[in-house]
Structure 1
Amino acid sequence: RLAETARLHVEGLSVALGPAVLRQDVWEVYDILDRAQTAFDGQRLRLTIVADERGRVLAATDPRRAPVGAEVAGFGAAAVAPHQVRMTGDPILNVSAQLAVQGRTVGHIVTELDVTDLLAERRQAAIWLLVGNALATALLTFAGWLAVTRILRPVGTLVRAMDDSRGTPRPVGEAEIPRSDPGLSRLIDTYNRMTTAVEERAEAERRLSERERFVSLGRLSSSLAHEINNPLGGLLNAADTIRTYSDRPEVVRQSAELMQRGLQHLRDVTRAILDQNRLDRAGQPLRPEDFEDLRLLFEAEAHRRAQMLDWRIEAAEKVLAQQPAAPLLHSTKLFTI
């Protein structure tokens, strides 16, 4: 827009001023400049200088700034051709062109254009452009955030399901699976199948453990019945023999020895079972309840012997807690309470 304005102004003046400059008619040049400034946008055209071919001023729209006979080089130093006019941020632009008549250069034209209003318009346009870009960027950022949030929502659901499992995988509900996204839906379906497989494996391990426990219990019961049944048969036979031959001391003695061996065998079996299956209490503290168990055992023997049992626990519970409930293995240290 600015380059077109400068070109039209300079070309129009060149056509009108060429003959007058060739004749060195200063008053006609002034008249043409005055009519051109009246017809042109006077607010933009600040100064127009017409010089002869020697570079001396013939006429100007402001004679005080450019008197007749002055060198025009001082005004056209920063001037450019009309087709090279560009907005540089300077409110005053200088335009220079040659005056030619029939191919002969007869002078020069230097014009100062005031582009303050154009700079203001460009500045306002830049501000609106920045504001528009900022709003568009904010809107696009918000839309992108919404889109990313919607895309990552199933992933967040999957992460929460894995975090809340606490060691046991929890499947994702059917309502939370994004069927519109084939990739994520396949991922969550795979995870659900994995959780189902883990649950089935845990259930199978639990059933196998119970089965093994029942098998072990059955084997133990069978072995225990066998170990008890054999001496028990001998004890029953010995009891029948004593009852039948009670008048024969030798037979009674032999039967009593047989019964003693059978009872010792039963005692050994019982001890072996207790040693194998009892809880290890060596690392547990001694409690008053342990003494109450002893009291129940002693009361039966004291009642059988027609004796009185005076049972008191004088040690404090804190003192008892410092002692083990059972002696340590491979230790001969005795504790006295």
Structure 2
Amino acid sequence: MPFTAPSSLLDLPPFPADGYADIADRMGALLGTRNDVLLVQGEAIIALEAVASSLAQPGLGAINIITSPYGGLFGGWLRRGGAYVTDVVAEAGLPVTVEAVKSALDARPEAKLLAIVHAESASGIINPLEEIVALTKARGVVTVVDAVASFGGHALDVDGLGVDLVVTGPQKSLAGSAGLSVIGISPKAWALGSHEAAPVNSVLSLLDHKRLWLETGRGVLPGMPSALEFWALRAALERFEAEGLDAAIARHHLAAEATRAGVRALGLTPWVDAAQASDLVTTVRLPDGLTVGQVLQAADAAGLSGGVGPVAEHLVRLNHTGQNAQRDVVRANIAALGRAVAGDIEAGLVAVDGVYGIAA
């Protein structure tokens, strides 16, 4: 049998028992919440399904905002649990309007829950969260926010806004592993989720986290925690905290502005204007006569990808998330896109450098 060289990924020491609560508190601080923070082993889609499954109950009135396929999944999970769901479906690839949400809330005064995705990597848009949460707070509606693609790259003050439940993870702006997720949950959300139909003894049970972790002093997580994932999350947190939340948000915003400037200098059009755009991913309308496949093949760059959902065939995504929110990555993305569309690459790079304050 051939000898296998040692790897730093193997034979890891156990994660310290007091480290889980420390990570939860640090994530809570970045989210701006003093609510309970749960650590879920698994990619964020698992945490989102757990939230929907735990809150849903027969007869619950819910409003579900759909601005990508992920919103559609959440509504389906709520219905599976017996909730009566009204979907507010935005125009394909665009943010939902505050007016549409207000109309839905007015039409469903008995609704007790509203679910929304903050930012969409699928189409590079951001929803008007502050205005929507103001509407739900005025009506006493529990607000569930999917902040997987916005946390760390956009301002998100959970308690300041009054968000009742937030789901996120470290794989976007923190540039960490996708194997863990985080849920922040308020007393009001706990009250909504504490019902006879709520799942227990299940990976989809929030009540299990409350019973087996929160109420036992936040020691070792139940089950078999993955030391690898928690060491990786702690490392990602340390790097992110060293930079600082405000600095990371500013870095993502600068990368987004530079990318949009480079796109326009290539003679192309961003999918949405800056006020509606995520700072983690910039989406670009395809020029006439070109397909996504043709552009990606010609670009041959890891930072470019196709969209997701109903507008996927109309746009290309430029990634500047996490450690990719840097000038050199933005320049590489613009150069690759310029090659693919026969654009003026030099003009695109000059535009990028101009946003970064570097003269040609």
Question: TM-score band, normalised by the shorter chain?
Answer: under 0.3
Larger Rg: 1
Specify which structure has the bigger relative contact order, considering alpha-carbon pairs within 8 angstroms and separated by 6 or more residues: 2
**TM-score scaled by structure 1?**
0.18
Q: Higher strand share goes to which structure? A: 2
More helix by share: 1
